[in-house]
Amino acid sequence: VCVCVCVCVCVQVHREAVYYNIRPLVKLLEESPPLFGELVGRQQFLSRVPHYRENIEVLIRIARAEAIAARQSTIMICVLRTEEDLGLYDNAINSLESNKESVVTFGPWKAALSVKDLLDCVKLDIESQGYSVSIQRHSVERSFLSTRSYDYFHKLIFTWW
């Protein structure tokens, strides 16, 4: 939690230093470990994930729409790490129970980072906007006819109160 707060504060101060054109402060902040990791590591990774920012906005909009008279909103996310995973998307989505209306899909991306890294980024970016979220793996029930289990699905749970 402390590291997350430090990075968030550092990012906000950096944003304002850029806005007010305080170049020495911008340079100093960009060399600090928290902001260096954010700019060089995390942001570079996220730039390789197609439609990442738009998907974060969609997740928040869906969660808010489902929040009426509910303590929690649960949105299904599908994480496709590779092109091969993308090729199996239709079979995977059909393996979900039919009553799930919205599934927000991330990927595939061309970087060495894992699905867990992407999920950590999703959680961090949503929590940085003030929301309380958790992520759980979604287990797909396998029928006796099914020969493959898909590990692409996760539940993103917004807790409102």
Tens digit of pLDDT per residue, the chain (161 long)? 555 666 778 888 999 999 999 999 999 999 998 889 888 899 999 999 999 999 999 999 999 999 988 999 999 999 999 999 888 888 878 777 655 668 999 999 988 899 999 999 999 999 999 999 999 998 766 555 454 556 899 999 999 99
| Residues ≥6 apart with Cβ < 8 Å to 154 | 76, 77, 78, 79, 119, 135, 136, 137, 138
* Helices 52-65, 115-127: inter-axial angle, 10-degree rounding: 60
Could you tell me if 66 and 73 are in contact, meaning their C-beta atoms sit under 8 angstroms apart? yes
Q: Where are the domains of the chain?
A: 1-47, 50-159
**pTM of the shown model:** 0.81
Return the pLDDT at 13: 92
